């Protein structure tokens, strides 16, 4: 409470104070109004509208717009393309999140140490993060090009492979190549997040462990890791939710091919909306995605809660 | 603490640092090198790391053949407007939440943040229909309005975090001097929050500059398409123009990298503020 407000409260309302009181009550909400309007029209309304659309057969081709109940969801349940994309998305999410967390942790531990040029390494880590994902995609498309790509050349020079590998054009490799590109793009951010987490661990704890004769590995395992675990899990959750929505990389690198082997939920959803113009069915896919995402988040939260409870 | 590492450990550290450096910087350096090489040099089978002969052919192609400057112009307009509106609306909201008596402010903040957790693909269809009804397809407005809402949660959250660190005595002193509520925001709080405004603005700008899916869905002509859409559509009829693509990548990434390096300390702080509990 400001002094003026306190004074008003003690002295009682002045003349016309009723009006100013109403303004005092209204101002905070008036200032929030633009943000609310923006979020309501661009986030809340479309989400609810999408939910409604998922119960209709809306299509921009047939111009139909009728309520069809759960028909879209029944179709979805037996749609092989959907489950194909679902599994790819789950695989992508699990593998890339795990790889990014482990690699990010390794880099964070490295950057926590003191060495010359540490600032340079930390700055270089921001390059993948700042780069547009479309550019990252094209860059990996070139690096992993089946004929003239640098990766094939380097691996051949090192004697690891004897002939060119078709990284993005073969059913067996394409998804893994995309995962690799995603790990490259997002690991640095993970590392910086975990580095910030490491800095919040009191130095005295680690010194105490050292005094007690704990070696580096032991300090890591018994002091740093447990202290870092909440950060690790929260960062992992955010990363997983983000990875689950992967769109740009897949759309630009393979467009979901070859033979649907890299189709993910977002790309399938986008194509259903904007190639076949089935807005009803597409919205049902969105809803299914959202349900899956909510389950992932719930799983993480339960795990985090159990973990924290056990620690106490 | 004493930083006396054993020679072996020191060696390991530098190897690790070198690997991290190559991992983050290497791919882009190759893109940079490719952008200055002739197409026939890029496809010889034994790539050269240093461009020879050195050529700026691809950069000329960008302007002459692809009219790439138009995409850049569109992106600058869209990202700048998004940033300006985002900072304005976001600072009003953050100020209100941080400085005024508002009941359940953490609830409001939580709602704002949780809205950003929805998958974006879920709103692109309905928004497309809405934009179509309003005649906003293939306009800057459709992108700016969308990006504003997508960026707002982060902008509000980071600015809120910064405002919370400013001492309350400032408010009281300003009120004593007869400053109105809006005066407090625009004449006192915002000027001293300049570092945070710059960082937050940069984050919003980068997000808008890099966004692809909505730009792909909402725009259909070079008059309004942004850089990511332009690059994604870069294909020649008979071959993939890797050199041109590399040049375009360099053009759109280098300014971002420079900005990010200049402001790196603030950016890291701003980005990690939400993810780490003190």
Cβ(B149)–Cβ(B93) under 8 Å?
A: no
Q: List pLDDT tens digits, range A199-241.
A: 888 888 878 887 887 777 788 888 888 888 888 888 888 889 8
Judge: B272–A39 Cβ closer than 8 Å, yes or no.
Answer: no
Cα angle A184-A187-A189, degrees, rounded to a multiple of 5? 125
Cβ(B141)–Cβ(A61) under 8 Å?
A: no
Name the residue facing B171 among A2, A125, A269 (closest C-beta): A2
Please state the ipTM of this predicted complex: 0.87
Give dist(CA A232, CA A194) in Å, integer.
Answer: 7
Q: What is the CATH number of the domain that holds B78?
A: 1.10.3720.10
Which residue of chain B has the CA closest to A274?
Answer: B217
Chain A neighbours among B 178-237 (CB < 8 Å)? 181, 206, 209-210, 212-213, 216-217, 227-229, 231-232, 234
Task: Please give the share of chain B, as a percent, with pLDDT higher than 70.
Answer: 94
Give dist(CA B135, CA B132) in Å, integer.
Answer: 5
DSSP assignments along B170-223, one per residue: HHHHHHHTT--HHHIIIIIIHHHTHHHHHHHHHHHHHHHHH--HHHHHH--STT
pLDDT of residue A3 exceeding 60: no
Q: List pLDDT tens digits, range A232-290.
A: 888 888 889 889 999 999 999 988 878 888 999 999 999 999 998 989 999 999 999 98
* Tally of domains within chain B: 1
In a domain, B111, yes or no: yes
**A151: closest CA among A130, A194, A180?**
A180
Q: How many CB atoms lie within 10 A of CB A286?
A: 29
Give dist(CA A70, CA B81) in Å, integer.
Answer: 41
In a domain, B141, yes or no: yes
Which whole number is the average pLDDT over B162-186? 87
Cβ(A301)–Cβ(A285) under 8 Å?
A: no
Which residue of chain A has the CA closest to B5?
Answer: A114
Cβ(B102)–Cβ(B181) under 8 Å?
A: no
Give chain A's mean pLDDT: 85
Q: Looking at beta carbons, which residues of chain A come within 8 Å of B28?
A: 127, 131, 139
Judge: A127–B17 Cβ closer than 8 Å, yes or no.
Answer: no
Tokens representing residue A142 in the block:
């070139």
Kindly state whether B42 is in contact with chain A, defined as any CB-CB distance less than 8 angstroms.
Answer: yes
Question: Which pLDDT band, with edges at 50, 70 and 90, does A13 fall under?
Answer: very low
Which whole number is the average pLDDT over A289-302? 88
Pick the CATH number of A71-311 from 3.10.150.10, 1.10.3720.10, 3.30.930.10, 1.10.540.10: 1.10.3720.10
Report the helix count and the strand count for chain A, using DSSP H and E.
16, 0
Whole-number Cα distances in Å, B88 to B29, B216, B228: 37, 27, 26
DSSP assignments along A270-286, one per residue: HHHHHTS--HHHHHHHH
pLDDT of residue A6 exceeding 60: no
Tokens representing residue A256 in the block:
């979901």
Chain B neighbours among A 95-134 (CB < 8 Å)? 106-107, 110-111, 113-115, 117-118, 120-134
In a domain, B215, yes or no: yes
Which whole number is the average pLDDT over B49-64? 86
Question: Token match 């990284």: residue?
Answer: A167
In a domain, B17, yes or no: no
Give dist(CA B47, CA B5) in Å, integer.
Answer: 39
Judge: B96–A193 Cβ closer than 8 Å, yes or no.
Answer: no
Q: Looking at beta carbons, which residues of chain A come within 8 Å of B146?
A: 42
Long-range contacts of B100-107 (CB under 8 A, 24+ apart): B100/A27, B100/A28, B100/A31, B100/B181, B101/A1, B101/A24, B101/A28, B102/A28, B102/A29, B102/A32
In a domain, B60, yes or no: no
In a domain, B214, yes or no: yes
Q: Which domain holds residue B133?
A: 70-242
Tokens representing residue B194 in the block:
């300049």
What are the start-end ranges of the H helices in B100-139? Answer: 105-115, 121-133
3-state secondary structure of B72: helix
Strand partners, A67: A56
**A190: closest CA among A74, A100, A96?**
A100
pLDDT of residue B72 exceeding 90: yes
> pTM here?
0.87
- Contacting residues for B164 by C-beta, under 8 A, at least 6 apart: B98
In a domain, B96, yes or no: yes
Kindly state whether A65 is in contact with chain B, defined as any CB-CB distance less than 8 angstroms.
Answer: no
């Amino acid at each position: 409470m400001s002094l003026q407000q306190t004074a008003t409260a003690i002295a009682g309302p002045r003349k016309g104070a009723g009006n100013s009181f109403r303004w005092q009550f209204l101002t905070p909400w008036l200032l929030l109004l633009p943000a609310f309007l923006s979020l309501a029209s661009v986030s809340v309304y479309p989400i609810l509208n999408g939910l409604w659309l998922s119960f209709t057969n809306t299509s921009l081709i047939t111009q139909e717009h009728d309520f069809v109940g759960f028909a879209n969801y029944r179709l979805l349940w037996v749609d092989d393309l959907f489950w194909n994309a679902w599994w790819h998305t789950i695989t992508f999410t699990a593998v890339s999140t795990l790889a990014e967390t482990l690699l990010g942790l390794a880099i964070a531990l490295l950057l926590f140490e003191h060495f010359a040029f540490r600032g340079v390494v930390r700055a270089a880590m921001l390059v993948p993060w700042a780069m547009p994902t479309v550019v990252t995609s094209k860059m990996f498309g070139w690096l992993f090009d089946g004929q003239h790509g640098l990766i094939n050349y380097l691996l051949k020079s090192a004697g690891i492979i004897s002939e060119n590998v078709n990284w993005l054009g073969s059913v067996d490799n394409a998804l893994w190549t995309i995962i690799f590109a995603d790990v490259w793009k997002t690991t640095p951010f993970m590392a910086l997040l975990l580095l910030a987490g490491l800095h919040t661990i009191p130095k005295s704890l680690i010194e105490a462990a050292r005094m007690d004769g704990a070696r580096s590995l032991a300090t890591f395992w018994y002091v740093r890791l447990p202290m870092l675990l909440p950060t690790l899990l929260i960062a992992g959750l955010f990363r997983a939710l983000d990875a689950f929505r992967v769109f740009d990389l897949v759309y630009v690198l393979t467009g979901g091919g070859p033979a649907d082997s890299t189709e993910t939920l977002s790309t399938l959803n986008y194509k259903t909306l904007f190639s076949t113009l089935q807005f009803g069915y597409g919205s049902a896919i969105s809803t299914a995605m959202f349900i899956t995402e909510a389950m992932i988040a719930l799983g993480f939260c339960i795990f985090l809660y159990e973990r924290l409870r056990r620690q106490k | 603490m004493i930083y006396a590492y054993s020679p072996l450990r020191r060696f390991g550290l530098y190897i690790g640092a070198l690997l991290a450096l190559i991992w983050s910087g290497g791919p882009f350096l190759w893109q940079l090198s490719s952008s200055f090489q002739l197409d026939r040099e890029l496809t010889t089978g034994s790539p050269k790391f240093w461009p020879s002969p050195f050529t700026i052919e691809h950069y000329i192609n960008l302007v002459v053949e692809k009219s790439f400057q138009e995409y850049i112009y569109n992106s600058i307009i869209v990202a700048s407007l998004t940033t300006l509106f985002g900072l304005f609306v976001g600072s009003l909201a953050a100020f209100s939440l941080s400085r005024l008596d508002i009941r359940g402010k953490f609830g409001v903040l939580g709602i704002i943040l949780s809205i950003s957790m929805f998958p974006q693909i879920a709103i692109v269809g309905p928004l497309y229909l809405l934009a179509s009804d309003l005649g906003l397809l293939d306009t800057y407005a459709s992108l700016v309005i969308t990006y504003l809402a997508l960026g707002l949660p982060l902008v509000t959250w980071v600015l809120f975090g910064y405002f919370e660190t400013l001492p309350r005595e400032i408010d009281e002193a300003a009120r004593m001097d007869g400053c109105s509520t809006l005066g407090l925001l625009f004449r006192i709080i915002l000027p001293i929050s300049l570092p945070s405004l710059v960082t937050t603005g940069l984050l919003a700008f980068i997000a808008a500059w890099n966004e692809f899916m909505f730009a792909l869905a909402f725009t259909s002509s070079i008059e309004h398409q942004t850089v990511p859409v332009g690059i994604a559509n870069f294909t020649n009829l008979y071959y993939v123009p890797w050199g041109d693509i590399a040049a375009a990548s360099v053009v759109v990434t280098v300014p971002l990298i420079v900005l990010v390096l200049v402001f790196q300390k603030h950016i890291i702080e701003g980005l990690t503020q939400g993810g780490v509990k003190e």
